[in-house]
Amino acid sequence: MPKTNNGGAGSGTDSGDDVTPDRDTRWQQVAKRLYDPDQDDALTSVIVFAIADAEGVAPTEVDAPTLYNVVDVAAIEGALFGARPDGTARETTGSVEFRYAEYLVEVNSGGWVRVCEPTDPEPR
């Protein structure tokens, strides 16, 4: 998986702000929630609840960083669960992963939101 950064000054270099997990990092699932687009209010809520489960706190205590500063949840929701432009149901198979604090969060097309933490220290 190629290294990326946030596109600021020095883009294309390893800036230390890299959010791509190192290939050698091992991850262990610490929380899992199911998102049902037909019944749940918003994917954002399910992600926040899963992160809260991982942290052992109430969802209202998950605040740093704010989720919308980390990932475009609406884009994930549209890509994995939204209708096609012609209104027909999207039958997508896939997943999206992103980092939230020390966690790796995966949202898959089956609706599962998995939160994982590193089991080995990340290289510096």
Q: Where are the domains of the chain?
A: 27-118
- Give bridge partners of residue 98 from the DSSP assignment: 105
Nearest alpha carbon to residue 73 among 34, 27, 113 = 113
- Helix (H) / strand (E) element for 117: namely strand 112-118
How far apart (Å, rounded) are the C-alpha atoms in residues 57 and 79?
29
pLDDT of residue 84: 82
Residue 9 reports pLDDT greater than 50:
no
> CA-based Rg of the chain, rounded to a whole angstrom?
15
11-46 pLDDT, tens digit per residue, is 333 333 444 456 678 999 999 999 998 887 799 999
| Residue 86 near residue 3 (C-beta atoms within 8 A) | no
Amino acid 17 reads: D
41-79 pLDDT, tens digit per residue, is 799 999 999 999 999 999 999 988 899 999 999 999 999
Higher pLDDT, 87 or 23: 87
